[in-house]
Chains A and B, each alone.
Chain A
Amino acid sequence: MLKKYSGHPYVLWSGIFIVLPLLLVIYYSFVKTSPATGELMFSLEGYRTFLQPLYLKVFAKSVLLALEATILCLIIGYPIAYIIANMKPKTQKIMALLLILPMWMNFLLRTYAWMTILQKNGFLNKMLSLLGLPTVNLLFTDGAVLLGMVYNFLPFMVLPIYTVLSKIDKGLIEAAGDLGADHKMVLRKIILPLSIPGVMSGITMVFMPAVSTFVIPALLGGGRSVLIGNVIEQQYLSVYNWNFGSAISVVLMIFILLSMGIMKRYDTDTEGEMNLW
């Protein structure tokens, strides 16, 4: 009995807090308030507006920046995961803890912290001038946004890769060595291919929040680096055009779903791994 009904609260929870809001978003993307009567009416105006070059450009820039952040996270994160996975079990635990420790702090605070580091009279420039070097203006640039994304989302890349790497049977590495493979070859022919599921999870978990983030560009990009997440936020909270905001949200969701689907194709062996698709 218990088993039969124990899933119900979660179904209810997902229904109220995930499915229903999603349906509302989809609903609002197709209706708008008629200026004449003040009633809700069917409209594709939101989607039409989105197709304007201005918004398409913002969208493309968001995707590009998210891709850059994902690639950087992968390049930085894979070696970190690899190094941690090869430490003693006790050290591994400490390292994994250190990695997620910043996440105990509020996301906003962490991003604000970067503002004080990067700003004109911030920590970084003070250090530079102390060394007699010219100061640089980093805050409110795309670079700062990218930095914010990589910094905030790096743990999401490292953790799934680390999990997969640490689960690789040491016997396989020994077997490959036994068959004549040196360290480089073991890495290329055994460890890399076997860690693909973790890499795929990592890419997914970094790319998704990166492509839709609005806090990071708002804080670190100032007004200059507007991304698609900011547009959605503005439409909902400042312009009150729910129709347009919802339309962009739907497009973004479909885009993410499609890219996940494509990723899934390259990820043939996900047996037992976390699967987001």
Chain B
Amino acid sequence: MPSTSHHPDPGVKRGRGVVVGILLASLLSVVASPATAQNQHSMAGMGDHPRIAIPPGALYTVADVTFLQGMIAHHAQAIHMSRMAARHQANAAVQRLAIKIEQSQVAEINIMQEWLARNGQFVPDTASWHTMQMSGMLTAAELQELDAASAGAFDRTYLTLMIQHHEGALEMVRDLFATAGAAQDVDVSVFANDVVTVQTAEIGAMRQMLSQLADQ
């Protein structure tokens, strides 16, 4: 019988296609990669991605493609942050939240990568967070602060930075929805709404957890 220990292997997939291979390799590399390779790319200048071409008749826009590409990096950094929790002996509630965020966002990265691949767009891997700086994402200094936090201080730092991180994701969705013609593709629209719903709820839960830390 499976136990309740949480060591999901997000890369175990029986599916076909190159995406799966990239995902497997890169998710594993998230754990091992140093947290210092960030650069200061803005959302507008997303590194070395190929120019985005929208096929005639498509319902999606450049904004949809850049949103998903950027959100892959955004999620990948959240997973990187969350995988620190066990190592830093976070309290049980924070560890469970971290596992939940990891499992949720691994699944969402799959969805985003599948959409981009299906539509013939460039598919960032999960190492992309090293080279992309989306809103709410931690700077190299903030990541260092998190990784250097003592066992007692980690919980507060993690929750505070993850709230910031989530609020950045909400801002990315707001920017997407504010772009004329964007998010009409139903997959993008459903996904973006899910991000808002889930991360809004998680921000509420994290604020609650922070206030409980403050009580101690």
Real binding pair: no
Interface residues of B (CB under 8 A from A): none
Interface residues of A (CB under 8 A from B): none
